[in-house]
Amino acid sequence: MRADRVEVAEPSAAQIQAGVIVDELIRCGVREVVLCPGSRNAPLAFALHRADADRRLRLHVRIDERSAAYLALGLAAGSRTVVPVVTTSGTAVANLLPGVLEASYAGVPLMVISANRPGELQGTGASQTIVQPDIFGPAVRATTVLAQADHRYPPGGDRLPRHNARWRASIARLTATGLGLRDGNPGPVHLDVPFADPLVGSGACEPPPGRRGGGPWTVVEPTTIDAPVHVDLSLDTLVVAGHGAPTLPELAGVPTVAEPSAPPPECAVHPLVLRELHPEQVVVVGRPTLHRSVTQLLASPSVRVIVVTPDRSWTDVAGTAHAVGRTIRATGTPHRVWVDVCRAASSVARSRVHRALDETDQVTGMHVARAVTRALGAADTFVIGSSNPVRDVAMTWQRRAGVRVVSNRGVAGIDGLVSLSMGVALAGGRRTVALLGDLTFAHDSGGLLVGPSEPVPRDLSIVVANDNGGGIFGVLEQGAPEHADVFERVFGTPHGTDIAMLCAAHGVPHVAADIAELGEVLGAGARAVGGLRVVEVRTVRDGLRGLHADIRSGIELDLFGDSMAVVADKQ
């Protein structure tokens, strides 16, 4: 008679592979991972849960993949390290695309890890099976499909050691690519992992070892490239500092129109005076995306445009760039008259903006932006929403040193900004204040859905300027009076959402504040409150078009009127 076979408890090959992936990620510096639940990614879920329990990394579980991608984006932006977001197969992967696109254009090291069905099931009609490799196209810096794990790895064989080396080398390569260590071009990467059944075994999983000492399988040294471009600062020079602009000491003291997410300049130029200034030369640093006056200036054939960027591409929408470099080699010094003109004109613009806000009886998004920025402390992190909030901040705030700014300017959409704010706050460890519009908040209100076992921000206030719709469209062409019969439904898009009830449904504290109370709600005394809360301020949008027009005409009057003639006298 044949003896009964004794079943030996052992992990599945998929679990062994998942254990190697997670261990090598940690060795490569990963400390935050976002996981979306699923069946095909079960081996990774077990390995990540164990690593979290052992405090080797911190795990964040979310049920919606789009929000998960933006949470990972915020964690990566806040920590400046690679942050993976892990999904199951099928449409789960496709839901990551908006976050991947933002990471690509903003240069944020996001890593997508998608579980997949084995190759032999592609095209068979198997459930939740799509073609996942290259699903993100050129939006990712690299895509890698790992070799599929064997069903069994016999003890003493060479198959597992060979797979272990290849898996770990692939993880190290993708992490270095995401960080841009070889080319200075950080961004998202994609790891696709086909897992065959059985996904889960019955024994404990101890992955084969990595390198001794706990380091990565492949150490990748960062490459530095110096390709300077010559800049003669004796010409009347204006710097345009956009999103992602580095601090360039060579340009200190040069008049600079800086977007809120750019470093604070020594000589700040208000964007509303650009049409009145006539620089001979413009140096573009970072990627400007906000102001039409900047776009018009860069399109002028009479201005010499120099672009400074470490990226493999560069900003040149109008096709007017004369020269491009990674760094600058400056000669000459700015003329004092030119600097004085820029300072004086900008002072006039700032005064006119604040005077207009003080004189109107309406409360607008600009009022909220001014109150929020006045309440920021030097050690705070400020997340600025897309659409009107970032423009309102640009109109009313001179960024001060110490305040860290994060804003989605890669693709500049309103997607995922609640989740991104959560990620930034979780990674940063500092008080974080986010300023969002109501449509932006409603669009990603699912980002408030955080399970009771999940990490929550220590101190995050999400300020919502609620004008019940799309206020930005009122100041654009479609907001002109002749389009009034169409505007409200298809552009204004009033929604009537009760934000307090929405927060209550998620168990998130809600504070209703008027503009006079906002400074106190966000001020020094509020910093002891901590936790996550939503602060709602009711605003209006009906008068925005007129307010913007009044500000522009007031600046023109102050600059060229008989009482001052600031620009006319000095240029």
Dihedral of alpha carbons 452, 457, 463, 467, sign: negative
pLDDT, mean of residues 42-69: 97
pLDDT of residue 5: 46
Q: How confident is the model at residue 2 (pLDDT cuts 50, 70, 90)?
A: very low
The dihedral sign for the CA sequence 261, 264, 269, 270: positive
Whether 567 maps to a domain, the answer reads no
**What single letter denotes the amino acid at residue 323?**
A
Residue 235: CATH number of its domain: 3.40.50.1220
Domain boundary among 313, 343, 373: 343
Question: Quick one: pLDDT at residue 3?
Answer: 46
- Residue 268 within a domain: yes
Residues 203-256 pLDDT 10s: 667 889 999 999 999 999 998 888 899 999 999 999 999 998 989 999 999 999
| Residue 39, both tokens | 């069946």
**Both 173 and 87 in a single domain?**
yes
pLDDT exceeds cutoff 90 at 125: no
How far is the C-alpha of 42 from the C-alpha of 359, rounded, in Å? Answer: 60
Model pTM? 0.92
Helix, strand, coil abundance in the chain, percent, nearest 5: 40, 15, 40
Mean pLDDT of the chain: 91
Would you say 370 and 544 are in contact if contact means Cβ atoms under 8 Å apart? no
Chosen domain end from 181, 214, 247: 214
Token match 């169409």: residue? 486
Residue 408 maps to a domain: yes
Q: Do 406 and 537 lie in a common domain? A: yes
What integer is the mean pLDDT of 40-45? 96
Distant-in-sequence, close-in-space partners of 511: CB < 8 Å, separation ≥ 6: 521, 533, 534, 535, 536
| pLDDT level of residue 201 (50, 70, 90 thresholds) | confident
Query: In terms of domains, do 329 and 437 share one?
Result: no
Calpha distance 553→55 (Å, rounded): 59
Residue 511's pLDDT is what? 95
Closest to 65 (Cα-Cα) out of 114, 105, 30: 114
Last residue of a domain, one of 149, 182, 214: 214
Q: Give the mean pLDDT of 319-343.
A: 95
Query: Do 52 and 197 have their domain in common?
Result: yes
544 falls in which pLDDT band (50, 70, 90)?
confident
* First-to-last C-alpha distance (Å) of the chain: 106
Determine which helix (DSSP H) or strand (DSSP E) holds 114, and give its type and residue range: strand 110-116
Residue 402 lies in a domain: yes
Partners of residue 34 on adjacent β-strands? 60, 85
Output 157 or 33, whichever has higher pLDDT. 33
Same domain, 205 and 237: no
434: nearest Cα among 394, 385, 380: 385
Per-residue pLDDT, 570: 47
Phi-psi region of 360 (alpha: psi -120 to 50; beta: other; left: phi over 0): beta
197 and 128 co-located in one domain: yes
Least confident piece of the model among 141-150, 320-329, 488-497, 506-515: 488-497
Name 196's Cβ contacts closer than 8 Å, sequence gap at least 6: 13, 14, 118, 148, 149, 151
The verdict on 208 and 237 lying in the same domain is no
Shared domain for 389 and 245, answered yes or no, is: no
Phi-psi region of 125 (alpha: psi -120 to 50; beta: other; left: phi over 0): left
CA 558 – CA 357 distance, rounded (Å): 16
378 plus 316 within the same structural domain: no
Q: What are phi and psi of 483, to 5 degrees?
A: -105, 15
Is residue 395 in some structural domain? Answer: yes
With respect to residue 446, please indicate whether it lies within any of the assigned structural domains: yes
Greater pLDDT, 194 or 201: 194
In a domain, 7, yes or no: no
For the stretch 414-438, pLDDT in tens is 999 999 999 999 998 889 999 999 9
- Eight-class DSSP state of 483: G
> Percentage of the chain surpassing pLDDT 70?
95
Number of domains in the chain: 3
Q: How confident is the model at residue 524 (pLDDT cuts 50, 70, 90)?
A: low
- Report the pLDDT averaged over residues 48-73: 97
Residue 6 is assigned to a structural domain of this protein: no
Please indicate, yes or no, whether residues 171 and 247 belong to a single structural domain of this protein: no
Domain match, 143 and 273 both: no
Per DSSP, the three-state class of 180 is: coil
CATH of the domain at 195: 3.40.50.970
Q: Using the structure block, give the residue that is written with the tokens 């997670």.
A: 22
Confidence of residue 470 (pLDDT cuts 50, 70, 90): confident
Q: Are the beta carbons of 207 and 16 closer than 8 angstroms?
A: yes
CB neighbour burial string for 427-464, b if at least 16 within 10 angstroms, e if fewer: bbebbbbbbbbbbbbbbbbbbbbbeeeeeebebbbbbb
- Higher-scoring residue by pLDDT: 33, 546: 33
Q: 252: domain range?
A: 228-343
Residue 197 sits in the same domain as residue 272:
no
